[in-house]
């Protein structure tokens, strides 16, 4: 057995090997150690290898999916080695000691999952293949759980951004390629041949030319070939559902780089999960398919004005009719995920339950189509979706007649074909049922004939049917003329057979076996019908998910009074009463109100320089406007009183401090790399948000860099831009930059406390309130006092000599605090000494105390 195991392990290519032994998948050696640690199961030993015990652990076959999910989540890949013959077949082939033949039937990897238990219902599971042909990067991506496949190309600089947009669970690339993405699985270079890719696509979709699908470049075809070859490899020759590929044009979507996606937290928050992300605040879809479609919309906002307008019109249609929206969402909520059920069926992993889900989903789609077809004033996109939900009448009718109402997940036990669909099958079931009744009658007769009331007829998987009596009653049945044949003696019982029982058992087994074969044939027939109609079923699934997204967007807009944005070809960005969707939702949970702000950028005022204190809302204001642009171009309503948005081609966000120590990059290096990408790629149709450029280096260097970046964005890129900064000196740029204006977030000090108003106002900030924010954050008072004394010296030196550090000189440690505290104490004492306490009225005395306290608090700051 170990020889067979080692041979299969050599084929597993570094994967954990699930070795089938009866009702368990066993793992051995290092695989067992690794799996036992991840799964928290017992690590045992079996036999010896080279004199050492062989580590072993195992998981039950019936529960394997749950264990696989945990292994895949931990970053493992698994090879499944199944028994490909029965023990009886093995005995016929090689005698009593012949080893059952096993083979790897499938590789389970992060990007090739189809099982319902292994997938997140509201998240697509993408696999990507990437390669280079003559300097052009080809990129193929697919979600095999639904069959969607996309081909595109990009340049080397845009590859990381494209992979970030796709969010692939797994990436494959040619081995030895110098630009192979991090953590990619390297495959033979021969797999990434454009000629072979073209041949595979033609063969897969049974066409002689790909012209009907699009004009694919050689790089796209090479990447597509690599993707299909990998799927063929992991499926061991069984390809999953792959629909005809679509081309993703580079200029059809709003471009965002990896840093911008991370900064805006579109699908994943900075904490690494869905909570706190944009999609968590926006998603009101009632189906997993709708949620996956919404995620794709937010990841790839459109740049086509007509397509955006069509999506907005459909959202508006449902927004204006709450009753229609509620009725539609109620139906969609009950729909099964027919896209993923279809994926399992086409991949050969389908169950009767999957067929039932497809039947029920298509039947409901037809009713939704009939219902919506009766409505008037339908928007164009709805008219385009309605025909996509038609054309399945014959298939649905056949499956409604063939399947029971709630088919099981297992097909091996039968019972899923409805009564009345196949007369021969009904007869076999009747024979089997009658035989069971005959066995019950036989049991009653044997009890009467023998006088043994405890006699029972039982069944198990080894002996089949047998008669069992207590041991004390067995002697009369042992005689040769009793009509019973001894089979087995147990501790407290004896088992027998009889001719009548043998005949009845034969009839049951024969009828039951024939019934299972008949049901299995019907299953294959239904599966073939579904596979033949797979493209039309997938189109219906897409239409249902688009309806869910549109109705969900309308529901979200109605919840919080969002508005329909006006999209145009201009370069205007006019957002009135804009709010941050994630922050507003978080504040609403605590009963707080979000302070809305306006943002109006046009050709004469396209760059805002924004100052003010930390925690005052600058970063929130920057991000909320970027998110509003993203939501609008994804085709949804936006959190604002009104919004007029000129199409944005690229969206850039350089907000927040981060580092990448794995790549040897400090926080400041990351900041500069991201800023460099903005300056080299942003256009006059881009929207850029920049926060605190230059803060990671010395004050002079940072100020110089920030100054130069503002000038470049204004003069060279000419982008619409929000630039937040603490460098007050940048305000002077308003004198030389015609399209730059100054703004600040408002704050006030009241009785020594800093009050953050979160409102945006015109004009430069008077100061940064850094010391006040530090005190709010809990910095010890002596440190804050020391900082104030240093600040006073700095400002005095700059005023007198023009030098930032002038005036510090040989400032002794804490000398300024001592001097300040002495001055403070002297002033208060002087006021007290000059006061005639006896002449004060109670009110005047109270006012004096308040005044002295206010003076003391002011001195602390």
pLDDT digits (tens, 9 = 90+) for 186-207: 999 999 999 999 999 999 999 9
Q: Which of 775, 790, 808 is the last residue of a domain?
A: 775
- What CATH number did the domain enclosing 61 receive? 3.40.1170.10
Residue 364: the pLDDT is 95
Distance of CA 72 to the CA centre of its chain: 15
> Which residue, 402, 593, 473, 131, is CA-closest to 140?
131
Alpha helices in 662-747 (DSSP H): 667-681, 699-712
Q: For 15, what's the count of Cα atoms within 13 Å in the CB-facing half-sphere?
A: 23
Least confident of 45-49, 398-402, 408-412, 647-651: 45-49
- Structure confidence by residue, pLDDT tens digits, 457-497: 998 867 788 999 999 999 989 988 888 999 999 888 999 99
Residue 619 is labelled as binding a ligand: yes
User: 49-55: long-range contacts at Cβ-Cβ below 8 A with a sequence spacing of 24 or more?
Assistant: 49/2, 54/2, 54/28, 54/29, 55/28, 55/29, 55/30
Query: Which one-letter DSSP state was computed for residue 189?
Result: G
Q: What is the C-alpha to C-alpha distance for residues 86 and 90, in angstroms, rounded to an integer?
A: 6
In a shared domain, residues 98 and 133: no
In a domain, 278, yes or no: no
In a domain, 126, yes or no: yes
By CB atoms closer than 10 A (0-12, 13-18, 19+), residue 27 is: buried
Domain count, the chain: 6
- What CATH number did the domain enclosing 339 receive? 1.10.1420.10
In a shared domain, residues 579 and 683: yes
Neighbours of 25 (CB within 10 A): 25
Q: What is the C-alpha to C-alpha distance for residues 100 and 19, in angstroms, rounded to an integer?
A: 12
In a domain, 277, yes or no: no
Which of the two residues, 441 and 579, has the higher pLDDT score?
A: 579
Residue 787 has pLDDT above 80, yes or no: no
CB 641 within 8 A of CB 563: yes
In a shared domain, residues 521 and 440: yes
Q: Which of 751, 775, 799 is the last residue of a domain?
A: 775
Q: For 205, what's the count of Cα atoms within 13 Å in the CB-facing half-sphere?
A: 20
In a domain, 257, yes or no: no
Q: What is the C-alpha to C-alpha distance for residues 564 and 554, in angstroms, rounded to an integer?
A: 10
In a shared domain, residues 483 and 568: no
Residue 613 is labelled as binding a ligand: yes
DSSP letters for 478-491: HSGGGSEEEEEE-S
Neighbours of 387 (CB within 10 A): 12
In a shared domain, residues 551 and 570: no
CB 629 within 8 A of CB 687: yes
Instruction: Write the CB contacts of 636 (distance below 8 Å, at least 6 apart in sequence).
Output: 282, 297, 311, 312, 315, 553, 556, 557
Token readout for 790 is: 């240093």
337 lies in which domain range? 283-392+533-559
CB 139 within 8 A of CB 162: yes
In a domain, 734, yes or no: yes
In a shared domain, residues 747 and 792: no
Residue 814: the pLDDT is 41
Least confident of 119-133, 470-484, 686-700, 734-748: 686-700
Give the full edge-to-edge strand order of the sheet including 484-489. Answer: 456-460, 464-470, 493-498, 484-489
Residue 806: the pLDDT is 45
- Sort residue 438 into left (φ over 0), alpha (ψ -120 to 50) or beta: alpha
Residue 460 is labelled as binding a ligand: no
Cα dist from 181 to 128, 139, 161, 528, whole Å: 11, 12, 12, 39
Residue 625 is labelled as binding a ligand: no
In a domain, 190, yes or no: yes
CB 720 within 8 A of CB 741: no
In a shared domain, residues 551 and 626: no
- What CATH number did the domain enclosing 753 receive? 3.40.50.300
Residue 658: the pLDDT is 58
Residue 94 is labelled as binding a ligand: no
Query: Which one-letter DSSP state was computed for residue 167?
Result: T
In a domain, 263, yes or no: no
In a shared domain, residues 580 and 708: yes
- Structure confidence by residue, pLDDT tens digits, 16-33: 999 999 889 999 999 999
| DSSP β-bridge partners for residue 48 | 53
In a shared domain, residues 473 and 578: no
In a domain, 520, yes or no: yes
In a shared domain, residues 94 and 188: no
Residue 393 is labelled as binding a ligand: no
Residue 805: the pLDDT is 44
Residue 612 is labelled as binding a ligand: yes
Residue 665: the pLDDT is 61
Residue 240 is labelled as binding a ligand: no
In a shared domain, residues 190 and 290: no
Average pLDDT of the chain, as a whole number: 88
Helix, strand or coil, per DSSP, at residue 469: strand
In a shared domain, residues 199 and 304: no
């Amino acid at each position: 057995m170990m020889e067979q195991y080692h041979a299969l392990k050599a084929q597993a290519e570094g994967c954990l090997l699930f070795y089938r032994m009866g009702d368990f998948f066993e793992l051995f050696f290092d695989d067992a150690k690794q799996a036992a640690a991840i799964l928290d199961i017992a690590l045992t030993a079996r036999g010896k290898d080279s004199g050492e015990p062989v580590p072993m652990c195992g998981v039950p076959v019936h529960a394997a999916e749950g264990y696989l999910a945990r292994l895949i989540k931990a970053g493992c890949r698994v090879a499944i080695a199944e028994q490909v013959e029965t023990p009886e077949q093995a005995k016929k082939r090689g005698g009593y000691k012949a080893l059952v033949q096993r083979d790897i039937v499938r590789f389970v990897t992060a990007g090739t999952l189809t099982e319902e238990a292994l997938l997140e219902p509201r998240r697509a599971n993408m696999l990507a293949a990437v390669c280079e042909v003559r300097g052009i990067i080809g990129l193929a991506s697919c979600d095999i759980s639904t069959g969607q496949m996309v081909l595109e190309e990009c340049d080397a600089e845009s590859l990381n951004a494209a992979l970030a947009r796709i969010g692939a669970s797994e990436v494959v690339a040619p081995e030895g390629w110098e630009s192979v993405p991090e953590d990619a699985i390297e495959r033979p270079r021969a797999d990434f041949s454009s000629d072979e890719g073209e041949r595979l696509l033609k063969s897969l979709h049974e066409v002689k030319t790909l012209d009907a699908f699009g004009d694919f470049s050689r790089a796209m075809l090479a990447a597509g070939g690599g993707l299909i070859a990998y799927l063929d490899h992991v499926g061991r020759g069984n390809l999953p559902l792959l629909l005809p590929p679509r081309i993703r044009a580079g200029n059809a979507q709003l471009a965002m780089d990896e840093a911008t996606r991370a900064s805006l937290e579109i699908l994943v928050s900075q904490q690494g999960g869905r909570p706190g992300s944009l999609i968590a605040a926006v998603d009101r879809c009632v189906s997993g398919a709708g949620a996956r479609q919404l995620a794709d919309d937010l990841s790839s906002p459109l740049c086509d004005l007509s397509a955006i307008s069509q999506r907005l019109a459909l959202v508006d249609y449902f927004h204006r009719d709450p009753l229609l929206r509620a009725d539609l969402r109620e139906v969609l909520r009950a729909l099964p995920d027919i896209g993923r059920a279809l994926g399992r069926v086409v991949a050969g992993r389908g169950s009767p339950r999957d067929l039932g889900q497809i039947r029920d989903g298509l039947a409901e789609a037809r009713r939704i189509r009939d219902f919506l077809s009766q409505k008037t004033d339908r928007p164009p996109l709805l008219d385009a979706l309605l025909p996509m939900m038609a054309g399945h009448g014959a298939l649905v009718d056949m499956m409604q007649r063939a399947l029971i109402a709630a088919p099981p997940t297992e097909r091996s036990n039968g019972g899923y074909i409805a009564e009345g669909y196949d007369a021969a099958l009904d007869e076999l079931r009747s024979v089997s049922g009658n035989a069971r009744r005959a066995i019950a009658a036989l049991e009653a007769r044997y009890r009467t004939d023998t006088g043994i009331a405890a006699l029972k007829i039982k069944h198990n998987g080894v002996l089949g049917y047998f008669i069992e009596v207590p041991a004390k009653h067995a002697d009369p049945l042992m005689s040769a003329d009793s009509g019973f044949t001894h089979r087995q003696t147990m501790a407290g019982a004896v088992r027998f057979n009889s001719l009548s029982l043998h005949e009845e058992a034969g009839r049951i087994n024969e009828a039951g076996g024939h019934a299972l074969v008949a049901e299995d044939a019907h299953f294959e027939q239904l599966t073939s019908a579904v596979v033949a109609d797979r493209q039309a079923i997938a189109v219906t699934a897409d239409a249902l998910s688009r309806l869910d997204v549109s109705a969900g967007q309308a529901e979200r807009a109605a919840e919080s009074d969002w508005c329909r944005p006006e999209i145009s070809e201009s370069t205007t960005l006019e957002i009135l009463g804009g709010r941050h969707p994630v922050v507003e939702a978080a504040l609403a949970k605590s009963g707080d109100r979000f302070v809305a702000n306006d943002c109006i950028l046009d050709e004469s005022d396209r760059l805002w320089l924004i100052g003010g204190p930390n925690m005052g809302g600058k970063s929130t204001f920057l991000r909320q406007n970027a998110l509003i642009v993203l939501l609008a171009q994804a085709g949804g309503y936006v959190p604002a009183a009104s919004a007029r948005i000129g199409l944005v081609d690229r969206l850039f966000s350089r907000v927040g401090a981060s580092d990448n120590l794995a790549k040897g990059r400090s926080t400041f290096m990351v900041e500069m790399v991201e800023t460099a990408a903005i300056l080299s790629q942003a256009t006059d149709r881009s929207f850029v948000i920049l926060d605190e450029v230059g803060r990671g280096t010395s004050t002079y260097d940072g100020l110089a860099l920030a100054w130069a970046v503002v000038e470049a964005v204004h003069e060279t890129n000419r982008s619409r831009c929000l630039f937040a900064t603490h460098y007050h000196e940048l305000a002077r740029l308003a004198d030389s930059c015609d399209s730059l204006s100054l703004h600040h977030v408002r704050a006030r000090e009241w009785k020594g406390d800093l009050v953050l108003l979160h409102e945006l106002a015109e004009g430069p900030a008077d100061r940064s309130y850094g010391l006040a924010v530090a005190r709010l954050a809990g910095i010890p008072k002596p440190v804050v006092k020391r900082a104030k004394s240093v600040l006073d010296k700095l400002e005095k030196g700059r005023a007198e000599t023009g030098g930032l550090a002038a005036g510090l000189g040989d400032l002794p440690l804490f000398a300024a605090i001592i001097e300040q505290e002495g001055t403070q104490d002297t002033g208060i004492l002087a006021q007290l000494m000059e006061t005639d306490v006896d002449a004060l009225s109670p009110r005047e005395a109270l006012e004096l105390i308040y005044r002295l306290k206010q003076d003391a608090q002011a001195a602390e700051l």
